[in-house]
Amino acid sequence: ALFGLRKIVASDRWNTTARHILAKALIATGRLNEAIKQIEAGIKVDPKNQLLIQEYANIGRILRQDAQNETAALVEERVRRLLGRP
Protein backbone atom coordinates (compact mmCIF):
# COMPACT_ATOMS: atom_id res chain seq x y z
CA ALA A 1 0.00 0.00 0.00
CA LEU A 2 2.79 2.43 0.85
CA PHE A 3 4.46 1.84 -2.51
CA GLY A 4 1.29 2.67 -4.41
CA LEU A 5 0.68 5.80 -2.36
CA ARG A 6 4.28 6.91 -2.83
CA LYS A 7 3.87 6.48 -6.61
CA ILE A 8 0.75 8.63 -6.60
CA VAL A 9 2.46 11.36 -4.56
CA ALA A 10 5.56 11.21 -6.77
CA SER A 11 3.48 11.57 -9.93
CA ASP A 12 1.24 14.35 -8.56
CA ARG A 13 2.90 16.45 -5.89
CA TRP A 14 -0.22 18.63 -5.66
CA ASN A 15 -2.37 15.69 -4.50
CA THR A 16 -2.87 16.56 -0.83
CA THR A 17 -5.42 13.77 -0.37
CA ALA A 18 -2.81 11.17 -1.34
CA ARG A 19 -0.27 12.85 0.94
CA HIS A 20 -2.75 12.74 3.82
CA ILE A 21 -3.50 9.05 3.28
CA LEU A 22 0.22 8.28 2.93
CA ALA A 23 0.96 10.21 6.14
CA LYS A 24 -1.71 8.22 8.01
CA ALA A 25 -0.22 4.95 6.74
CA LEU A 26 3.27 6.09 7.75
CA ILE A 27 2.01 7.02 11.22
CA ALA A 28 0.38 3.61 11.56
CA THR A 29 3.73 1.96 10.79
CA GLY A 30 5.64 4.21 13.20
CA ARG A 31 7.39 6.26 10.52
CA LEU A 32 6.65 9.64 12.07
CA ASN A 33 9.52 11.55 10.44
CA GLU A 34 8.40 10.42 7.00
CA ALA A 35 4.80 11.31 7.87
CA ILE A 36 5.90 14.78 8.96
CA LYS A 37 7.66 15.29 5.61
CA GLN A 38 4.50 14.31 3.71
CA ILE A 39 2.31 16.58 5.83
CA GLU A 40 4.68 19.53 5.51
CA ALA A 41 4.87 19.04 1.72
CA GLY A 42 1.06 18.95 1.55
CA ILE A 43 0.75 22.06 3.70
CA LYS A 44 3.09 23.93 1.34
CA VAL A 45 0.59 23.18 -1.42
CA ASP A 46 -2.50 23.88 0.70
CA PRO A 47 -1.70 25.78 3.94
CA LYS A 48 -5.34 25.71 5.07
CA ASN A 49 -5.87 21.95 4.64
CA GLN A 50 -7.55 21.02 7.91
CA LEU A 51 -7.03 17.28 7.49
CA LEU A 52 -3.28 17.74 7.14
CA ILE A 53 -3.17 20.15 10.08
CA GLN A 54 -5.20 17.75 12.20
CA GLU A 55 -2.85 14.89 11.31
CA TYR A 56 0.12 17.12 12.15
CA ALA A 57 -1.39 17.77 15.60
CA ASN A 58 -1.93 14.02 15.99
CA ILE A 59 1.79 13.45 15.38
CA GLY A 60 2.56 16.02 18.09
CA ARG A 61 0.44 14.01 20.54
CA ILE A 62 2.15 10.77 19.57
CA LEU A 63 5.56 12.37 20.01
CA ARG A 64 4.58 13.63 23.48
CA GLN A 65 3.43 10.13 24.44
CA ASP A 66 6.77 8.78 23.25
CA ALA A 67 8.60 11.42 25.36
CA GLN A 68 10.04 13.05 22.23
CA ASN A 69 9.28 16.44 23.74
CA GLU A 70 11.65 18.57 21.68
CA THR A 71 10.27 17.35 18.36
CA ALA A 72 6.73 17.48 19.73
CA ALA A 73 7.23 21.13 20.70
CA LEU A 74 8.37 21.97 17.16
CA VAL A 75 5.37 20.23 15.63
CA GLU A 76 2.96 21.87 18.10
CA GLU A 77 4.42 25.31 17.36
CA ARG A 78 3.98 24.76 13.63
CA VAL A 79 0.36 23.65 14.14
CA ARG A 80 -0.36 26.76 16.24
CA ARG A 81 1.08 29.00 13.51
CA LEU A 82 -0.97 27.21 10.83
CA LEU A 83 -4.10 27.74 12.91
CA GLY A 84 -3.20 31.40 13.50
CA ARG A 85 -2.72 30.95 17.23
CA PRO A 86 0.11 32.49 19.28
**What pLDDT digit, counting tens, does each position of 10-60 carry?**
899 899 999 999 999 999 999 999 999 999 999 999 999 999 999 999 999
Quick check: 86 pLDDT over 90? no
Quick one: which of 19, 78, 6, 27 has its CA closest to 46? 19
Quick one: which of 12, 84, 77 has its CA closest to 48? 84
pTM to 2 decimal places:
0.85
pLDDT band at 84 (very low <50, low <70, confident <90, very high): confident
Quick check: 5 pLDDT over 80? yes
Q: What is the DSSP letter of 42?
A: H
Helix then strand count (H, E) for the chain reads 5, 0
Amino acid at 66: D
